[in-house]
Amino acid sequence: MITTNETAPIREYLEAMLPWAHGHQIKGLTDYVMAILDRQTGNQADLVRELGNPEAALNRLSRLIHNDRLSPRQ
C-alpha cells in the first residue's frame, strides 16, 4: 500500500508545476504517477487495475487525459 509519505514529494512537485490545478486534479495526477512508477507501464488498462475500482479509475483517467489544460504541447 502506498502511503501519504511516499506521495507527498510527487504531490508537492505537481502543485508547483501546475499552480492552476485544483485538489482533485493533483490527486488524480499523483495517483497515476504512483501507478506508473509501481507498474512500470503506461498501458491504461494496467494503470486502472492498480487503482481499485476499474470503471471509476478509467473515468478518472479519461477526464485527466482529455483535460485541455494539461496539453503536453504547451
The per-residue pLDDT for range 28-45, each reduced to its tens digit, is 888 888 888 888 888 888
Report the alpha-carbon distance of residue 49 to residue 39 in Å, rounded. 10
Number of domains forming the structure of the chain: 1
pLDDT of amino acid 25 = 84
Residue ranges of the chain with pLDDT lower than 70? 1-4, 71-74
Report the alpha-carbon distance of residue 74 to residue 67 in Å, rounded. 13
* pTM higher than 0.85: no
Owning domain of residue 42: 21-67
Domain for residue 74, yes or no?
A: no
Domain for residue 13, yes or no?
A: no
Helix then strand then coil, % of the chain, to nearest 5: 70, 0, 30
Domain for residue 30, yes or no?
A: yes
Non-local (6+) Cβ contacts of 64 within 8 A are 25, 28, 29, 32, 70
Domain for residue 72, yes or no?
A: no
Domain for residue 10, yes or no?
A: no
Kindly calculate the radius of gyration of the chain based on its CA atoms and give it in whole angstroms. Answer: 12
Domain for residue 4, yes or no?
A: no
Domain for residue 39, yes or no?
A: yes
